[in-house]
């Protein structure tokens, strides 16, 4: 007897607990039982299954939108489902869902799965706040309902695919796909975290003292033109760009977020006058190193100037980073003729920084376009190269690692053999030619050049022989 009383008490407690958790009443009424659609509803779907679906849909909606307490939810004591002899598919109003018996009858396929998806959609309308008094676009309201259907696994095959449609707020499946993408951005939130960690690591900002003081980074998906921008620790990404992008939009926006996150953490010269092309190039360099460079970017060596910005500058910075450890040569420039007219013109129109910069940039473009990857084993062992601007006759010369001509510094000059002097001088002019610094007075290609042009570059590049 005591055991029976305990069991009854346990059942009462369990029922009360369940009622407290899910205190919503559900009822199903088939008003079209005498129609073909009503009969098909009874035979292939049924009231019991539909009632359980309403319960499951409610639980799913609360879970998906993290409405874990009564305070988070609309006060809906009862949800009713009616199967009616009407046109259309279904609608929800005043906590009542109406489904068309004619649609059920005419549906070709798995009608039970189809109506389950419809019930998830319409149940969302029951529990939606619809902006809670604000002016919410209808396309968004319907898109949220289809988003629930999508996440529940009841998206039909005829729906638009991700990226299709004319506008993110077009409604229904189009908006549902867009919302699904937006949700993946948290994913988006995690991407911001991952991008920040990557930036700190790449630029060796291991302590708070190395980093900008940014307590919060916010990402906004806005209905705007363009692609994205960063300002005041906020990243704004264009919903129009997302909608119109053809391809793997998740990978594309991940790359965009790495780029814009760099702008959040950049020092931008820390008060100095930093070229805009360099600032954008650093952001694309981060995107490149993170593995999110799109296929349409320029290839290494392309572009007009190293500080052109974006992908051009990113490729140049990547090159500079690769040669940092390999090409450990110190360069200095000395103007011993500063008091002469020529020395003064050098300082005013050229300058030592320009010489060093041009050397790096042109070496980059020449290497990317003409030379295979090299190692220190392929090069002469030079610790320092010096350039002197002197009050002398002639043009220039190179001796003992002191420059007039950079190529003469690095040439092997036959490496013990006796190559023709004309070849030794021709190789530096070949380098000058390929670097883009050919003066207008040079001879033009003639018969001899055309005859040997296939072998001459190889001969130049194998300068040890």
pLDDT tens-digit series, residues 153-209: 999 999 998 888 988 899 999 999 999 887 776 667 888 999 999 999 998 888 998
Q: Quick one: 193 and 313 in the same domain? A: yes
Q: Does 162 reside within a domain?
A: no
Residue 164: inside a domain = no
Indicate if 437 and 367 belong to the same structural domain.
Answer: yes
Among residues 251, 402, 243, 238, the alpha carbon closest in space to that of 331 is found at: 402
* Over residues 425-441, mean pLDDT: 79
Q: Looking at residue 116, what is its pLDDT?
A: 97
Does 189 fall in a domain? Answer: yes
Amino acid 41: pLDDT: 97
Instruction: Please write the tens of the pLDDT for every residue from 238-250.
Output: 999 998 999 889 8
Whether residue 229 is found in the same domain as residue 322 = yes
Does 316 lie in the same domain as 266?
A: yes
Do 38 and 74 lie in one domain? The reply is yes
Across 203-207, 280-284, 297-301, 361-365, which has the greatest mean pLDDT? 280-284
pLDDT of residue 330: 59
- Residue of 207, 111, 96 whose CA lies nearest to 156: 111
Task: Kindly list the distances between the CA atom of residue 449 and the CA atoms of 166, 421, 427, in Å, as whole numbers in the listed order.
Answer: 58, 18, 14
- The owner of tokens 């994913």 is 187
Assess whether 209 and 273 both reside in one domain: yes
Confidence of residue 336 (pLDDT cuts 50, 70, 90): confident
Domains held by the chain: number: 3
Q: What's the chain's length in residues?
A: 465
Within this chain, do residues 194 and 316 fall inside the same structural domain, yes or no? yes
Q: Are 306 and 364 in contact (CB under 8 A)?
A: yes
E strands, 21-134, are 25-30, 78-84, 90-93, 96-100
Residue 339 lies in a domain: no
Among the listed ranges 66-70, 210-214, 435-439, which one has the minimum average pLDDT value?
Answer: 435-439
Q: Which two tokens stand for residue 121?
A: 């959609």
Two tokens at 345? Answer: 């013109």
- Report the pLDDT value the prediction gives residue 351, as an integer from 0 to 100: 65
Q: Kindly give, in sequence order, each residue whose CB lies less than 8 Å from that of residue 303, ignoring residues fewer than 6 positions away.
A: 311, 312, 313, 315, 316
Tokens of 112: 């039970």
Question: What sign does the CA torsion over 104, 110, 112, 116 have?
Answer: negative
Indicate the pTM of the whole model.
Answer: 0.46
Q: What is the mean pLDDT of the chain?
A: 81
So what's the pLDDT on residue 455? 42
Give the H or E element holding residue 352. helix 352-370
Q: What is the pLDDT at residue 378?
A: 67
For residue 172, being part of any structural domain is answered with no
Is 176 among the domain residues? no
For residues 287 and 380, state if they share a domain: no
CA–CA separation, 274 vs 272, rounded Å? 6
Q: What is the pLDDT of residue 334?
A: 75
Same domain, 122 and 226: no
Task: Give mean pLDDT, residues 320-337.
Answer: 64
Instruction: Please write the tens of the pLDDT for every residue from 256-291.
Output: 999 999 999 998 877 778 888 999 999 999 999 999
**453-458: average pLDDT:** 43
Q: Which range marks the domain in which residue 58 is found? A: 21-127
Running DSSP on this structure, what letter comes out for residue 305? -
**Which one is predicted more confidently, 414 or 339?**
339
**Which domain CATH number covers 94?**
1.10.390.10
260 in a domain, yes or no?
yes
Say whether both 321 and 235 belong to one domain.
Answer: yes
Confidence of residue 331 (pLDDT cuts 50, 70, 90): low
The answer as to whether 244 is a domain residue is: yes
Are 296 and 368 found together in one domain? no
Share of the chain above pLDDT 70, in %: 77
Mark whether 307 and 358 lie in a shared domain: no
pLDDT digits (tens, 9 = 90+) for 16-32: 333 344 589 999 999 99
């Amino acid at each position: 007897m005591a055991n029976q009383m305990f069991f009854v008490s346990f059942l009462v407690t369990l029922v009360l607990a369940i009622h407290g958790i899910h205190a919503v009443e559900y009822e199903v009424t088939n008003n079209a039982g005498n129609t073909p659609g009503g009969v098909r509803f009874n035979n292939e779907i049924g009231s019991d299954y539909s009632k359980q679906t309403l319960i499951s849909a409610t639980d799913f909606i609360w879970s998906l939108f993290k409405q874990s307490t009564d305070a988070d939810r609309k006060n809906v004591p009862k949800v009713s489902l009616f199967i009616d002899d009407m046109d259309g598919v279904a609608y929800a109003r005043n906590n009542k869902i109406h489904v068309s018996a004619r649609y059920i009858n005419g549906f070709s396929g798995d009608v039970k799965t189809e109506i389950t998806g419809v019930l998830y959609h319409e149940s969302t309308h029951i529990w939606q706040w619809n902006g809670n008094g604000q002016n919410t676009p209808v396309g968004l309201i319907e898109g949220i309902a289809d988003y629930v259907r999508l996440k529940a696994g009841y998206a039909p095959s005829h729906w638009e695919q991700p990226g299709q449609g004319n506008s993110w707020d077009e409604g229904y499946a189009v908006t549902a796909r867009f919302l699904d993408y937006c949700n993946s951005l948290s994913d988006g939130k995690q991407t911001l975290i991952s991008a920040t960690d990557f930036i700190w690591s790449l630029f060796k900002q291991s302590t708070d003292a190395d980093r900008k003081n940014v307590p919060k980074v916010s990402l906004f998906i806005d209905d705007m033109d363009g692609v994205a921008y960063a300002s005041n620790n906020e990243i704004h990404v264009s919903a129009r760009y997302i909608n119109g992008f053809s391809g793997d939009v998740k990978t594309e926006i991940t790359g965009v977020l790495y780029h814009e996150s760099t702008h959040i953490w950049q020092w931008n010269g820390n008060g100095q006058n930093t070229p805009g092309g360099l600032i954008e190039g650093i952001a694309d360099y981060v995107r490149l190193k993170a593995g999110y460079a799109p296929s349409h970017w320029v290839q290494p060596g392309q572009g007009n100037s190293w500080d052109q910005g974006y992908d051009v500058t990113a490729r140049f910075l990547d090159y500079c980073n690769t040669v940092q450890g390999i090409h450990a040569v110190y360069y200095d420039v000395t103007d011993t003729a500063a008091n002469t007219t020529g020395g003064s013109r050098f300082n005013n129109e050229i300058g030592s920084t320009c010489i060093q910069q041009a050397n790096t940039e042109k070496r980059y473009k020449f290497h990317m376009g003409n030379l295979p990857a090299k190692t220190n084993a392929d090069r002469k062992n030079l610790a320092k190269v010096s350039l002197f601007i002197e009050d002398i006759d002639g043009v220039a010369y190179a001796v003992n690692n002191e420059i007039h001509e950079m190529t003469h510094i690095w040439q092997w000059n036959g490496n013990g053999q006796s190559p023709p002097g004309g070849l030794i001088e021709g190789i530096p002019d070949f380098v000058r030619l390929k670097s883009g610094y050919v003066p207008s007075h040079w001879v033009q290609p003639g018969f001899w050049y055309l005859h040997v042009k296939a072998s001459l570059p190889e001969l130049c590049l194998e300068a040890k022989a």
